[in-house]
Structure formats: C-alpha cells, structure tokens
Structure 1
Amino acid sequence: MPRQGLTKIRERILRFIHEQKEDTGIQPTVRDIMDFMGYRSTNAVSIHVNAMIKSGHLLKVPGRARNLHITEKAKLELGLSEQVPLLGSVSAGTGILAEENVETYLPDLGGGESFVLRVRGDSMKDAGIYEDDLVYVEQKALPRNGDIVVALVENEATIKVYENHENVIRLIPRNSSYKVQSFNSEDEHRINIVGVVKHLLRRY
C-alpha cells in the first residue's frame, strides 16, 4: 500500500514501536524512541509523533506513559497488517485507499497488496457476483484474458470480465442487460485497471 506522508525517519519510528510491542509486549516511551533514534532530546521525537498522530499513523492513549500505538492504517502502509481495508466505494480522484473510502478492516486472505470492495449493481450476476457481495482485489496482479477485474472508467468503479485483443481492452458484463465496453489506445486516459478479483465473500 502507498505510504501517505511517511518519511523514512517516521517509518523507522513506527517500525521500532511495532517491534518493541512484538518483542516485549509493551509500547516504548518517547524516551525509548529518543535513544533508538540517537536524538539528544524528546522534543525531536515529539515533532514526529505529533505529525503522525495528525496523519492517522499513531494513536495516543491519554493517561499512560507507554501510550503510543501504531494504527491499522500505519500497519497496512508498512506491510505489517494481517488485515485489508473494506472499501465502500472506489474513486480515482481521492485515491483507491483514501481513508474516507474505508468502512472497516477484514482478515487478509493472501494475494499480495489487496483490498476488499463492496459490489454495487447486478452487472455480474450471471457470474455469481451479486449486490453487496465482497470481492478481494489484488492490486498489483497483471490481468489475463478471462479474469474478473476492478476497473476505473472515467472515475467510476466497475467489476467486469477483462479481455485484451490486439491492444483493444474489453470489459464484459455477465448480465445481458449491460453492454460490453471497449477501449483502444486512444482511450487510455479513460480507463485504469485497479486489480484482479481473487476471492468472493458473501454475508448472509
């Protein structure tokens, strides 16, 4: 997942907090972080900590000395999480994993950098994908003909069967009420293949 606003220094601090919790079972103090980073005062640590609290990478629990906890957002960006975000929607304008799109987090079923998308509409019903189903999408997977993909078409997310023949991409619905969408090289600005659907989850 892309690192949103994380410098290398702040990434080191987050990884240190995570490793200390994993190794010792307790959170490090600001002074522990100061010693680890080689700073001469806690003020330098506080600048980074406050910035990461503001960006949503750290959570500070009031009333405790060891009160710094890295958030699920930070774990996702650092590849430390065993969960993936469930998105209620996908929009190119705000970024795929923009915080405002995240409804909650679900267990990671594997498959690289992934997210879960809630299905809207019935264009894939004949493939057994229905409204409100959840699909696990692998972002960096290269689509092959016949794969079910999530694509952004003019800033709207769609789930369709992918085909590419002679540099013409076709997004094929599995519902005869919908039309096939075709894109040639001149349409590259209109379409972005976000990822390949790897798993389907239905809640009853």
Structure 2
Amino acid sequence: MKNIVILISGRGSNMQAIVEAAIPNIRIAAVLSNNENAAGLAWAAERSIATDSLNHKRFSSRLEFDQAMMEKIDAYQPDLVVLAGFMRILTPEFCRHYEGRLINIHPSLLPAFTGLHTHERAIEAGCRIAGCTIHFVTPELDCGPVIAQGAVPVFDDDTADTLAARVLKVEHQLFPQAVADFAAGRLKIIGNRVVRSPSAKLESQLLA
C-alpha cells in the first residue's frame, strides 16, 4: 500500500479525479493546502480523508513556509506527493526533499508556456494544439522530466475558458493513471529521464 499526499490550493478537481479513480494499492493519506478555505479540503473531509492547511502569508519567507509544509507532509510518510493545482513556486529545498516522488500537472504542452496564463498564451500564439503535461518536479520551474502529455485541438472560436475546460477533461484522465503507474512501480525517474516498464498503462495521447 502506497501513501499519497495531495496538495491543492482551490477546488482540487484533479485531486477529486484521483480519489474517485479508486486506484488499487494506494491510500490517500491526506489532502493539504496553503488555503484554509480551499473548496477541495471540504470535499476531501466529507470522504473521511485527513485534511490540513497552512497559510503561506503567515511566513516570512518561501523557505520557511516550505519547511513547515514538509513537516506536515512527512507526518504521513508519503511514497508520493502530488501537486494538484498547488499554486506555489517551490523552493529547491522542497523539491530535493521529495526528489523522485513529487509530481505535478501543468496545463500546457511543456516546454511551451511554463508558468501562468497558459491557455491565453496558447491562443495568442496561434497554437492549433494545446494540452497538459504530467512531470516530475525539479527545482527548475515546470522543467522536470515528462511522464505524459495529453493534447487537444484549439478551435478558432476558443476562449481561455473553453480551452481550459477541454484540457481539464484530459487532465482528469491522465493524472489518476500516472499515480497508478507510479504506485505500481511501472514508472520511475532515472537522472533526467522517465523510465516505464512494459506494463505501464499511461501513454501520451491526442483527445478531441
């Protein structure tokens, strides 16, 4: 049984997708947030999942907050830490502490459009394809080894909101499978490369 700790900042729709996938041999040990009013905390608590929050605004530095959050996370002895809409830039100390067991989902086809406002930027750039990327987290923002990507078309009449909704559907399919593959030992990071076993189920894909 693998312990999974999920970090969120808002409604946590990807967290919900992972919980509802009922992945074999994993235990959602806790859902933590930097926002005590995050809607996802209430959703998790209603399902008897341990929850906690830590307001980053109460700390004098990013590192001080990260160290306090690491203490909360480590209390659950996680095999994997999942960033599911955790809207914080993490310090190198945090990333190294969970090296090889920290994954994130980003709403673009990395390395394109790191950072924020990805959908607006994709539309403004005239992209015909957009999507999401699941990757291991390293100290360099949004640059960790790619686990999988899911792509969707960009239509002429798309807005940032309509494109975001289409990409989110793909996120909800790929993220639970990434967690399942990790928990089953079907993927791991070696150096700067993700290695999959022949039995890995997760594949990058194009979905309309």
TM-score > 0.5 by shorter chain: no
Give the structure with the larger strand fraction. Answer: 1
Larger radius of gyration, structure 1 or 2? 1
- Structure possessing the higher relative contact order (Cα contacts under 8 Å, 6 or more residues apart): 2
TM-score (norm 1): 0.23
Give the structure with the larger helix fraction. Answer: 2
TM-score (norm 2): 0.23
